[in-house]
Amino acid sequence: MSGWVVIAGLGPGNEDMVTPEVRATLDQATDVVGYFPYVARVAPRDGLTLHGSDNRVELDRSRHALSMAAEGRRVVVVSSGDPGVFAMASAVFEALEAGPEAWRALEIRVLPGITAMLAAAAAAGAPLGHDFCTINLSDNLKPWALIEKRLRLAAEADFAMAFYNPRSRSRPEGFERALKVLREACGDARPILFARNVSRVDQTLRIVPLTEATPEMADMRTMVIVGSSATRIIETPRGPILFTPRSA
C-alpha cells in the first residue's frame, strides 16, 4: 500500500517543542486527524485536509485514519505531548487489531513528543529525578477503584507521581478523593507541584506541601507532580527548585 499513518506528538503547547521530525512529516501529509484543539495547531496549506473531531471518539478517529491510509493517503494522527502517553497511539493500534486484515500491511509509525509531564518537571527542576510513575486520574476508561488502588500502591512504594487529567468540571470530586488517599498513604508534607499551561506564555508553577494542597489548585490544564519522601526544595533568588536526588 502506498498510504501510511504516522501518530505524532505536538508537545505540550509551545511550538518550539514540536520536533523537526514531526514538522517534516506534517509537511508530507495529505490529511491530519485529531481532537479539534490539536488539529487547530497545524497550519492549513494546499493539499492538506484537516479532520478535527471530539475528544471521546478516539476509535472512530483511528478507523478513519487507517481507512484513508488504505486508500493511499498520507495521514498524520496528532496528539498533544507524546502520542504514546494517554493519547492516540494506543487507540490506533486498538483499531488496527480489530480492523480488516488489509490494514496490517500499512506503514504505521509513532513519532515521540515532549510530554506535559516532562515539560512540567523541567520547568520546576527535576522532581522525577529518580523512580516515578504516571497515573491518569480520569475514570472515563477505568473505574475509580482501580485508580485508587494504583495511587495507594504507588504512594506506599514511595514513587514520585505525575498525574494527568486531575480535575474536570464533570468530575470535580476525583482529585479531592485522590488527595485524601495520598495523605493517608504518605503521612507527610512532601511537596506537590501544580504546573498549569506548561510551556505556554501563561504558564504558572505552584509548589505546596501535600498537607496544604486543595482540589481547586488543579484543573484539566494542570499537570500535578507529587514528590517522593526524598524530594527536596532548594530556595533561590529566582524561585524554588524542586528535585528528587538520584540516590532516593
Question: Tens digit of pLDDT for each residue in 102-141?
Answer: 999 999 999 999 999 999 999 999 999 999 999 999 988 8
Residue with cell 478517529: 61
Residue intervals of the chain classified under CATH 3.30.950.10 are: 117-243
What fold, for 117-243? 3.30.950
User: Which residues of the chain form CATH 3.40.1010.10?
Assistant: 4-114
Read off the pLDDT band of 17 (50, 70, 90): very high
3-state helix, strand, coil in the chain (%, to 5): 35, 25, 40
Residue 1 has pLDDT above 70, yes or no: no
Q: What is the pTM of this model?
A: 0.91
pLDDT at 171 (0 to 100): 76
- Within 10 angstroms of residue 202's Cβ, the number of other Cβ atoms is 8
Q: Provide mean pLDDT across the span 27-34.
A: 98
CA angle 83, 84, 88 (to 5 degrees): 50
Model pLDDT for residues 175-194, shown as the tens digit of each residue: 999 999 999 999 999 999 99
Average pLDDT value over all residues in the chain? 94
Residue type at position 121: A
Is the pLDDT at 248 greater than 90? The verdict is no
Cell numbers given for 55: 475528544
Q: What does the block give as the cell for 40? A: 487547530
Q: What is the spatial distance between Cα 98 and Cα 106, in angstroms, rounded to a whole number?
A: 14
Name which of 40-44, 54-58, 62-66, 223-227 the model is least confident about: 54-58
pLDDT score of 5 = 98
Q: Which CATH class is domain 4-114?
A: alpha beta
186, 210 contact by CB (below 8 A): yes
- Smallest CA-to-CA distance from 65 within 32, 97, 43 is with 32
- Residue 121: which H helix or E strand, with range? helix 116-124
Please say if the pLDDT value at position 163 is more than 80: yes
